[in-house]
Structure 1
């Protein structure tokens, strides 16, 4: 009787461990940024204008197009919202993470995978970044109906603090030159409008 109980417990533990390693179907699967950092090379970071401790992180999907990367991300975890692929850009939203896929300007066979949390998006992105991607109502529900108006006003006052995505001027509008961090450890932070200003 005791031996049968031990066998049942061991079998239960093995089933539990198998379920944990089962990827997207698992209750314990890693979040989307961890998955991205495990699968793609760190390429650059961009610092928030509002909070220098908050970053948008850019990864390089070497020799993979946007559709292939989007499929891999969706297979790991289904996004809350997802735009269509348009003008070499696609946006996937996971809980409080915005993932933007863009074709690399340096090598058209590569995709840049940018991960920004909700706070970074709210305080740094220009509203036009999302225009034409069928996310307007979602963004308004998330940030409030006045977000677009307020951000557009802030962008008129200080255009250097309005982010148009990584491929536009290497980060924030008005930032010139090459991005300051390429590869290396995720503890290395750089880029963004606060650099050198």
Structure 2
């Protein structure tokens, strides 16, 4: 009986070892394919009331300083023609972010809210606020320099938000919108807004992945 009991125990152990090696492959592969590019943990942040109080009581003289004081930095996107910093919040809604920032430091222009995004334009920066499509409940706050927008963004991103002539005026050009649109259509490699997992391309066959935190950058060498 002892011999049979030993054989049974060995058989059970062998079964579980084989299951772990072969039986779980599909689940692990699927999980890995979805999680390998995800953020292990998003930055921590204060409570909703603390964030709003920080914005309201801030002595910041420019929008960059105000955003830095109020929200955690998630990512930095660089090219050889400008920089864009990505901040996030899970505590505030898109409306609360744009309203609180614009009330504290008045922008030169503010767009309508469309397709879960809104843009504030300041003298040297665009503040592009969006609801993340990858992470429910996350609002991304992109602080992009004029240079970054001028040389990397697809003008189509702003359709419905700003008229072309206004973008031209804000970017110090008479024909930026038309020239940039033509170039983006030809190359298919223009920045189409921040995506948390590298989905920066606005269309076409090439991609614009990366950041200084996560590798690479859009439009290098353009």
Matched, 1:148 2:199: no
CA–CA distance in structure 2, aligned partners of residues 25 and 107 of structure 1: 30
TM-score by length of 1: 0.71
Q: Which runs of 5+ in 2 are unaligned?
A: 1-54
Separation of aligned partners in 1, 2:187 and 2:158: 19
Aligned residue in 2 for 1:192: 218
Alignment of 1:74-113 (within 5 A): 74-113=102-141
Which residue in the other structure is 1:71 paired with?
99
Cα pair 1:89 1:100 within 8 Å, conserved: yes
Unaligned runs of 5+ in 1: 1-22, 183-188
Q: How many residues align?
A: 164
| C-alpha displacement of 1:154 | 1.6
Residue 59 to residue 190, structure 1, CA distance change in 2 (3 Å)? farther
Cα distance in 1 for residues equivalent to 2:207 and 2:118: 23
Match of 1:125 in 2: 153
The Cα of 1:177 is off from its aligned counterpart by 6.8
Distance 2:218 2:168 in 1: 25
RMSD (Å), alpha carbons: 3.0
The residue that corresponds to 2:85 in the other structure is 57
Larger radius of gyration between Structure 1 and Structure 2 = 2
Q: Please say if 1:157 is aligned against 2:186.
A: yes
State the partner residue of 1:166. 194
SS at match of 2:88: strand
Q: Which moved more, 1:100-109 or 1:112-121?
A: 100-109
What's the TM-score, normalizing by structure 2? 0.63
- Residue 31 of structure 1 is aligned with which of 62, 65, 70? 62
Residue 42 (structure 1) aligns with: 73
Q: Is the 8 A contact 2:208 2:217 kept in 1?
A: no
Which shifted more, 173-182 or 63-72?
173-182
Secondary structure of 1:119 counterpart: helix
Q: 1:158 Cα deviation (Å)? A: 2.2
* Cα separation, 2, equivalents of 1:45 and 1:192: 11
- The structural deviation recorded for 1:110 is 1.8
